[in-house]
Amino acid sequence: MPEISIAATDGSGSFGAYVAMPKTTPAGAVVMIQEIFGVNGTMRTLSDWVAEMGFIAVSPDLFWRQEKGVQLDPDAGQAQWDKAFALMKGMDQDKAVEDLKATVAHARAMQGANGKVATMGYCLGGRLAFMMAARSDADANISYYGVGLEGLLGEAGAIKAPLLVHIAEKDKFVPPEAQAAISSGLKGHAKAVVHIYPGVDHAFGRRGGHAYDARAATIADGRSAALLAAVLG
């Protein structure tokens, strides 16, 4: 069950969020943005890892407008994938960004927070992290294997805070032409950095998952940790 409740800014209700606290505060906060499987064991494990690094981790339930408390397992069969894709297709991503902005504002003011907040998202969350870079006041944003980023490049000019983009070279959801467009579209951007990890597939950073690659994940996570430490303190 989520540890906290956050009010939606459109007055439509409130949504839950899993929170992992560091041993020492005050600390910067990281809004952890879910994959298409909800705030499941993977997102909670990642949030706990962020807390172990010394940051407050807040992972909001972004499917709440369709169904609250979704926790799916990508390694538990096709039915889980079918439901995940249905929820993703049913999501209003603009409203999801508004919910994330509400989460950022909440995280800035949490007890123990130092007021600085980054976002870090995976898969669907990687796309939303890019959208947050362009549309929010988050202090940094990190995208892991975000899908459809090539279609968001028109917003790149609005990015004012550091954006770190991790791409899997063999990502079946992000073909080579999309990777080339993203790299080209962000080349020379003052705030955005793109890294492509050779030989790995989508979700290479999902611990325990079928596509997990320890080498690529460790390198990507190290880059993410360095950015979070530099920006959040």
Catalytic site residue from 99, 201, 202, 221:
202
Query: What does the radius of gyration of the chain's CA atoms come to, in whole angstroms?
Result: 16
Catalytic site residue from 171, 201, 213, 221:
171
202 counts as catalytic: yes
Strand spans (E) along 34-107? 56-60
State the pLDDT at residue 2. 58
pTM value surpassing 0.95: yes
Instruction: State mean pLDDT over 128-157.
Output: 98
pLDDT per residue over 101-141, tens digit each? 999 999 999 999 999 999 999 999 999 999 999 999 999 99
Instruction: State mean pLDDT over 8-14.
Output: 97
Instruction: State mean pLDDT over 186-195.
Output: 98
Kindly report the backbone phi and psi dihedral angles of residue 60, in degrees, each rounded to the nearest multiple of 5, phi listed first: -80, 150
The mean pLDDT value of the chain amounts to 97
The answer to whether 117 touches 30, Cβ cutoff 8 Å, is: yes
In terms of residues, how long is the chain?
233
202 pLDDT higher than 90: yes
The answer to whether 19 touches 56, Cβ cutoff 8 Å, is: yes
Instruction: State mean pLDDT over 77-85.
Output: 96
218 pLDDT higher than 50: yes
State the pLDDT at residue 75. 87
Instruction: State mean pLDDT over 41-68.
Output: 97
All structural domains of the chain: 4-232 (3.40.50.1820)
106 counts as catalytic: no
The answer to whether 21 touches 112, Cβ cutoff 8 Å, is: yes
208 pLDDT higher than 90: no
% the chain with pLDDT above 90: 97
